[in-house]
């Protein structure tokens, strides 16, 4: 499973790019607004940091405007993926953009049927939102299992991006199910490194090594 970062924060993206294990970026209007900077220049800056798919979301609600915006975004940089909402208008726009060879990501997916519609429209990616399902008190991960089964059954090329991740456990579960990608907030990516036994083990090895280097071979031996 590939790892993407779910962020529009340039410092966060630069930091994770340095690890060499994050291969794409997803943004959404809320994440862009949080940074308070120009949309196009932020997206282009991200494209220069991570060499992989960078999702940029359309804001219009009419099919014609989504197509126009999608065509424009995709002209900015070859790695840009046009993110469109799960709706009749979004699916219509996806079909047309896919026919043009433009990469698309259907966002706000909350059911297997929505994922099926997106795959039939030729979407490159779909983003089911796990955390937001769980925020409503329902179990979230089973939607990833359902979509994986359907996509494998009919050999759809559409890739599943498990999104709205709230914990490292969500990442493990997505990987076990066979999600193609997980898009993960910076904080959760950092948590993935951590284990108390790793930290205490590193400390112990370092202390033991230092005690060995301070050992002096007695004279005359």
The answer to the question of residue 190 lying near ligand E4P (CB under 6 A) is no
Report residue 77 as tokens: 């940089």
**Using rule CB under 6 A, residue 158 touches ligand E4P:** no
Closest separation in Å from C-beta 191 to ligand E4P: 15
- Indicate whether 168 belongs to the interface with ligand E4P (CB under 6 A): no
User: 184: closest CA among 166, 169, 159?
Assistant: 166
Contact pattern from residue 61 through residue 100 relative to ligand E4P, giving x for each residue in contact according to CB under 6 A and a dash for the rest? ----------------------------------------
140 vs 203, beta carbon nearer ligand E4P:
140
Binders of ligand E4P: how many residues, by CB under 6 A? Answer: 11
Name the nearest CA neighbour of 115 among 142, 150, 70: 150
Backbone phi, psi, residue 104, to 5° = -130, 155
CB half-sphere exposure, 108, CA atoms < 13 A = 12
Q: In sequence order, what are the beta bridge partners of 63?
A: none
Which tokens go with 142?
A: 């089973």
Contact between 95 and 130 under an 8 Å Cβ cutoff? The reply is no
SS3 percent helix, strand, coil of the chain, rounded to 5, is: 50, 20, 30
- 104 near ligand E4P (CB under 6 A): no
| Nearest-approach distance from CB 21 to ligand E4P, in angstroms | 18
Nearest to 127 by CA among 180, 185, 206: 180
Binding mask 127-156 for ligand E4P (x = CB under 6 A): x-x-xx------------------------
Shortest distance (Å) from residue 141 CB to ligand E4P: 14
Q: Does 159 bind ligand E4P (CB under 6 A)?
A: no
Q: Between 29 and 68, how does the x/- string for binding to ligand E4P read (CB under 6 A)?
A: ----------------------------------------
- Contact between 14 and 47 (Cβ < 8 Å): no
Give me the residues that bind ligand E4P (CB under 6 A), please.
6, 26, 28, 107, 127, 129, 131-132, 163-164, 183
């Amino acid at each position: 499973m590939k790892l993407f970062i779910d962020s529009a924060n340039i410092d966060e993206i630069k930091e994770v790019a340095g690890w060499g294990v994050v291969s794409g970026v997803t943004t959404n209007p809320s994440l862009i607004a949080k940074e308070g900077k120009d949309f196009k220049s932020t997206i282009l800056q991200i494209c220069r940091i991570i060499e992989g798919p960078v999702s940029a979301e359309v804001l219009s609600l009419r099919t014609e405007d989504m197509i126009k915006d999608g065509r424009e975004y995709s002209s900015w940089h070859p790695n840009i993926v046009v993110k469109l909402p799960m709706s009749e208008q979004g699916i219509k726009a996806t079909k047309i953009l896919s026919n043009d060879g433009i990469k698309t990501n259907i966002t706000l997916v909350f059911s297997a049927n929505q994922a099926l519609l997106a795959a039939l429209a030729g979407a490159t990616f779909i983003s089911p939102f796990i955390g937001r399902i769980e925020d409503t008190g329902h179990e979230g991960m089973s939607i990833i299992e359902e979509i994986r089964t359907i996509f494998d059954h009919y050999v759809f090329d559409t890739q599943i991006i498990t999104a709205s991740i709230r914990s490292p456990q969500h990442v493990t579960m997505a990987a076990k199910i066979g999600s193609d990608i997980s898009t993960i907030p910076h904080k959760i990516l950092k948590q993935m490194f951590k284990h108390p036994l790793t930290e205490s083990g590193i400390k112990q090895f370092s202390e033991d090594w230092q005690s060995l280097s301070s050992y002096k071979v007695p004279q005359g031996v």
